[in-house]
Amino acid sequence: MLLVGRELPSGEADPQVMLGPDQLVNAAEDLLVVHGPNDTARPCGPGRAAPRTVYVNRMRLTRERIVAAAAELIEREGMTAISMRRIAAQLDCAVMSLYNHVPSKDALLDGVAEYVMSGIEVRTEPDADWQDQVRAQARAFRQIARAHPRCTMVVVSRPNNSAAALRPFERALATLAGAGFSGADSVRIVRAFIGYVMGCLLREVGVAPSLAHPDDVASRGGESDPAEFPLLTSLSAELGRRDHDADFEFGLDLLVRAVAELRPAMHS
């Protein structure tokens, strides 16, 4: 018989009946209590082992653990690999146990998006102007996207109304509104920055199943014909250099300048 109990101050266990090996109770320290052979009809004699109880620490199943396992699986194999059965196997629990914490696969993916977006940390000076704030927000989004490239695709490919997912967008819109941009233009500008960050993400790490770098894929195609592609040939050394941080900052500066140029026209 399998029981779960909490440890009493005396060191003894206060067991409770357990329906399955993955069923958990709300206790600070859960113990899996496994009772060995116990036949009360016959007393223990020579050569017969006495009944014994073994206490084994268990890690409780929580929504946070399930979401973290899903994020790990997505980064390793892609979003198409996600299923409740795969997550259960990864956590070594019964599939039905997952539904006590996440009601569906969609809810699980929403949790992954929330997990990613809640990790965004924007660092700006208190007196930073709107352009510096926009730059800081774009850098923060890029940082989390680089840490979770495949999970970030989950974020941008499906709607999510959780507070953690919406908070960075609210902050970006508030920054632009404070700079004097209209609501419609603020939305377009935020979308442009998201598109830019995601484009840089594709350039840096790729999101194909193999996560192969785009430059590596291109290099396997062989050298180009100098007569047909003279500029590509002459700039081959420059094209072969990879400084993604410098490239990102260069493009970010262009985008911020373009948005700043639009601002006077909007209020003229």
Strand partners, 34: 2, 54
Q: How far is CA 108 from CA 76, 111, 135, in A?
A: 17, 5, 31
pLDDT at 123: 85
Q: Is 179 helix (H, G, I), strand (E, B) or coil?
A: coil
Strands 30-35 and 2-7: antiparallel
Tell me the one-letter amino acid at 106: D
Q: Is 133 helix (H, G, I), strand (E, B) or coil?
A: helix
**Most distant CA pair in the chain, distance:** 100
Q: How far is CA 185 from CA 72, 173, 175, 176, 190, in A?
A: 36, 10, 12, 9, 9
Q: CB-side exposure of 169: number of CA atoms within 13 Å?
A: 19
Per-residue pLDDT band at 243 (split at 50, 70, 90): confident
The CA-based dihedral angle spanning residues 183, 253, 206, 75, taken in that order and rounded to the nearest 10 degrees:
-60
CA–CA separation, 202 vs 186, rounded Å? 24
Q: Which residues contact 131 (CB under 8 A, 6 or more apart)?
A: 256, 260
Q: What percent of the chain has pLDDT over 90?
A: 49
| pLDDT one-digit tens code per residue, 115-167 | 999 999 998 888 899 999 999 999 999 999 999 999 998 888 888 888 888 99
DSSP state, 19? S
Contact of 6 with 27, CB cutoff 8 Å:
yes
Q: Is the pLDDT at 214 greater than 70, yes or no?
A: no
Segment (H or E) for 33: strand 30-35
Contact of 4 with 32, CB cutoff 8 Å:
yes
pLDDT at 258: 94
